[in-house]
Amino acid sequence: MAKKGAREIVALVCSECKAHNYATTRNKVNIEKKLEIKKYCKNCKKNTLHKETTKLK
């Protein structure tokens, strides 16, 4: 059985065009600060900084 509450699904949003490009999970028990990852944005057609935003529903 999986433990409840430790992991949550969050969206990664392009910091330039605000597109929701990725979804990932993070363990908020281990990681307190927000995720910031460089990823390819198909909207901007280049690598941009993606930031974690509110979790998906």
Q: Which residues bind Zn ion (CB under 5 A)?
A: 14, 16-17, 19, 41, 43-44
Minimum gap (Å) between residue 18 Cβ and Zn ion = 7
Measured from the CB atom, the residue of 12 and 14 that comes closer to Zn ion is 14
Minimum gap (Å) between residue 36 Cβ and Zn ion = 14
Work out whether strand 20-27 and strand 7-14 pair parallel, antiparallel, or are unpaired: antiparallel
Minimum gap (Å) between residue 53 Cβ and Zn ion = 13
Instruction: Tell me how far apart the alpha carbons of residues 46 and 56 are, in angstroms, rounded to a whole number.
Output: 24
